[in-house]
Amino acid sequence: MDKTTKEVLKNMDPNHAEAYVSFNEVQKSYDGENLVVKDLNLGVQRGEFMTMLGPSGSGKTTCLMMLAGFETATSGEIMLDGTAINDVPPWKRDIGIVFQNYALFPHMTVRENLAYPLEVRKIPKSEIDERVKQALGMVQLEGFRGRRPGQLSGGQQQRVAVARALVFEPKLVLMDEPLGALDKQLREQMQYEIKHIHENLGITVVYVTHDQSEALTMSNRVCVFDDGVVQQVAAPDVLYEQPENAFVAQFIGENNTFVGTVKEASNGHCVAEVQTGESLNALAINIDGPGSRTTLSLRPERVSINPEPGSCDNSVQGTVKELIYLGDHIRARLALCGQDQFIVKVPNAARHSHLIEGESVVVGWHSEDCRALDAPA
pLDDT digits (tens, 9 = 90+) for 177-193: 988 878 888 888 888 98
The larger pLDDT score, comparing residue 8 to residue 100, is at 100
| 246: nearest Cα among 277, 264, 224 | 224
Domains 3-246 and 254-373 share a fold: no
**pLDDT average, residue stretch 150-170:** 90
Q: Per residue in 247-293, pLDDT tens?
A: 999 999 999 999 999 999 999 999 999 999 999 999 999 999 899 99
Residue 354: pLDDT above 80? no
CB within 8 Å of 40: residues ≥ 6 apart: 23, 25, 26, 27, 59, 63, 76, 230
Q: Cβ distance 235 to 244 under 8 Å?
A: no
pTM confidence score: 0.87
Q: What b/e readout covers 349-370, taking b as 16+ CB neighbours within 10 angstroms?
A: eeebeeeeeeeebebbbbbebb
Cα separation, 59 vs 54, whole angstroms: 8
Return mean pLDDT, the chain.
91
pLDDT of residue 352: 55
Host H or E run for residue 201: helix 184-201
Residue spans of the domains in the chain: they are 3-246, 254-373
Cα separation, 112 vs 105, whole angstroms: 9
- Per DSSP bridges, beta strands 304-305 and 314-325 are unpaired
Question: What is the identity of the amino acid at 253?
Answer: G
Fold annotation for 3-246: Rossmann fold (3.40.50)
Q: CATH number for 254-373: choose from 2.120.10.30, 2.30.30.90, 3.40.50.170, 2.40.50.100.
A: 2.40.50.100
pLDDT of residue 149: 93
H-state helical runs in 1-43 = 3-11
**Angle (deg, nearest 10), helices 154-166 and 184-201:** 20
Q: How many CB atoms lie within 10 A of CB 300?
A: 18
Q: Per residue in 40-85, pLDDT tens?
A: 999 999 999 999 999 999 999 999 999 999 999 999 999 999 999 9
Residue 15: pLDDT above 50? no
Question: What is the identity of the amino acid at 293?
Answer: R
